[in-house]
Amino acid sequence: MANLKKRIFKFLILLILLIFVLNISLVLVPTTWLPKQLMQELSDLMNLLKPYNKVCSCARCIEERGISLWFDNRFNSSIPPLLTLSLQMEKNPSRYNDTIVKLFQVIPGDIDPLLQKRLGSCRRCAVVGNSGNLRDSWYGAQIDNHDFVFRMNKAPTAGFEDHVGSKTTHHFLYPESYRELGQNVSMILIPFKILDMEWVVSAITTGTITQTYMAVFRKIKVKSEKILVYHPAFIKYVYDNWLQGHGRYPSTGILAVIFALHVCDEVNLYGFGANSKGDWHHYWETNPSAGAFRKTGVHDGDFESNVTSILTSINKVRIFHGR
């Protein structure tokens, strides 16, 4: 909007100058020179009047460049968020390649059509974290008003609808954080290890895998056509570009946020960060010290929080802090 106002102001100034130049030209300049000058001025005006090509119809569009060098240096639209059959596997370990083949024998190999953005659209997404700051926030209706609602790990909605909403379109998880999902919810598996993809194959077929580093669901009820796989290359991209190697690996939360930057036009974050008392527990937990995992060093919570804060400061996302 600011750029459009600048263009309109520039046009008005140029129009005034053009009228002034033409008035002088009619008196002082030979008629053989006027058409050339006039054509040049008209050409400049036409260039100015060309429509501003916004990448979406939202008030703010994530993919707009030139607003923040920090963002432009990190955001890479060429990295695919989801794993598909088109993956080039020649340079990967044989076990990985074999797993991919088996995986796409039981789940679709195409990208979820819902995740394919259309030019000029305004896809609004809510990324709902699991922070205790959602308790008594009354964000439920606001969250459900988005086109896509992303949730993660073991987050429940039943009993918390007024504060976290009831709508879920996509749920991010890994085998150890699996929970049963609603019938129309797409599951997005985050494969931190090859065994995670092997688990999906097992969980919708034979049920032979029951243990990773902990007990996992032997069978899952998610329909195979509702299963999507987060691209391992995208995990690496988040870790390298956005986290710059901080922590052992990215959290599910930051992986969902960066995923949303790539598939949505407008992103709003709920349930991220500590509550007003500085506690990091989950909203369904009553023990404020339950968020002690943040201190284990697995994820760099402070650095990830800094990333979302910068994204907010440059108007790429909005964070609703709750209570």
Check if the beta carbon of residue 116 is closer than 8 Å to that of residue 148.
Answer: no
Half-sphere exposure of 20 (CA within 13 A, CB side): 6
DSSP structural state of residue 291: G
Which residue matches tokens 């009553």?
286
Question: For the chain, how are helix, strand and coil distributed in percent, rounded to 5?
Answer: 40, 10, 45
Among residues 96, 246, 249, 321, the one annotated as catalytic is: 249
299 is catalytic: yes
**Rounded Cα–Cα distance for residues 233 and 88 (Å):** 11
Q: Using CA of residue 274, residue 276, residue 279, residue 283, what is the dihedral sign? A: negative
Count Cβ atoms within 10 A of the Cβ of residue 313 and give its class: 0-12 exposed, 13-18 middle, 19 or more buried.
exposed
Residue 140: how many other CB atoms lie within 10 Å: 19
Check if the beta carbon of residue 160 is closer than 8 Å to that of residue 142.
Answer: no
Q: What is the dihedral of CA 239, 128, 217, 175, to 10 degrees?
A: 0
Residues 6+ apart with CB under 8 A from 157: 151, 164, 165, 166, 168
Residues 6+ apart with CB under 8 A from 92: 100
Residues 6+ apart with CB under 8 A from 41: 18, 21, 22
Residue 278: how many other CB atoms lie within 10 Å: 8
249 is catalytic: yes
Among residues 163, 231, 281, 299, the one annotated as catalytic is: 299
Check if the beta carbon of residue 170 is closer than 8 Å to that of residue 126.
Answer: no
Which amino acid is located at 137 in the chain?
S
Catalogue the active-site residues.
Answer: 249, 299
